[in-house]
Structure 1
Amino acid sequence: MQCKGKRVLTVFVEENELDQRWKDAYPPYAEHNVLSFVVHDIQHMEKFMQNEFYYEQIGFFNCLKKIPEGFFNSLSVGFSSDFDHVRADMNACSIHLLAFFKAKWMHAELLSTAANSSYYKAAPQDFKFIRMSLHEQLIWERDKFDKILDLWNCSPFVRWSCHKICYQMSEEEVRAIRLFFAQIGKQAVNKAEASGVVDLSVTYSYIPKHRRKQAPYRLI
């Protein structure tokens, strides 16, 4: 739905749901009861609809939608949750969304490589904050990240700017990425409005797996 400028809002109305509690899987690991859960979702809705970020978020989510099913199957299991999180439970400037996606992907690549090593099996917790060297990242960007940027049909400068994500960026590079996603977002919204139909059939697939079993999703 976010690909077309809409967003789900979760509300709990059944009596057996009202005493549930949830703890976020990401910092600051906030704990929610049913009321604070709804308030939190409304805050996401507000961030999504914020004029400054609206179209670029839609463009970013449309770009994620272009990634083929199964593209990340070789990565560690944890990345599936991270990917669900960025496309279904994050609303922010596209720079932040892309940085989260890229950083989690790089980390998953390292964990997948290390998973069969004796060091990892002996102390997997030591790999929680592992990072790529600059050389490793350049190779990864060439062999993996560029495949996604090819799908997104980025201009050379936007591609260069996306490579700079997670590093220090110039204002021009930041503007280039935001404008790129915003243009895609405006096209998507115009297309959805012209059709006069919002397709809800894809909504469920973008609900994070850890919330599908717990939360009945309803549109308000």
Structure 2
Amino acid sequence: MPAPFARSLVMDSDAAAYCARSGATDRAAINAFVRGVKNLGLWNSLVCWPLRSSQNSGTGTTAYSLGGLGTFNGTLTNGPAWGADGITVDANNERITTSFNYATGLVTVLAVIKPDVATGGVDLRFAGNDQGGTSNGINFDTIPAAQFRLLPGLNFVGTRSAGTRTMFGHGRGTANTFWVQDGARSALTDGAYNSTAQTFCPIGSPTASTALGETSFTVAFDGVTTTSSLLSSFYTLYKSTLGTGLGLP
């Protein structure tokens, strides 16, 4: 019996176009991921940035986007470094900026990250207050202790030892805000957070904070009610395709 997300020998046209555009060389993983996303019915509601060097340009200042939601290529700013397992952001103001704006109140943003062992923490911000209301997306930020902090608005939850790679994030369901860690969805609080379209979707360090860690992948879903089952399936898909070899839990 083949694995649910077995890599197909037939190249999907969108996967092929992405590889041609970006110069990505890990064609089999990208093909399997795109086919899996389409099987989950998420292609037209998703944009992502595969940031392992073999899954994107791997050089230069353009981080190519993938997904049916649109083309939102990012620009590496202030020198984040490409690597086999992702983009390393290790200094103030290093980031990837994109033109992505979310359009609905049903938004989920996820990242696969590994925080810096020496400094002990990362901060996943979504419409975070330290951006002065001018951005939405994923930023790394210094925080005390060895923990991950999710920040929808000003609330935070979640802990994880430094140096441990995982997928986590948060979003808005039909009636509640939730957070996700290791592929599991958990309700956080009732009501909405700020879902107003903003200017940028940066990946990396906010403008006045020290960034920590390595980003392998980021993704945004827009206009989708991301149930626990759907997020679990997406996590399994990522681990078995683009995330192979990362040691994800």
TM-score normalized with structure 2 length: 0.26
Comparing both structures, which one devotes a greater share of its residues to strand? 2
Comparing both structures, which one devotes a greater share of its residues to helix? 1
Say which one has the larger Rg.
1
TM-score normalized with structure 1 length: 0.29
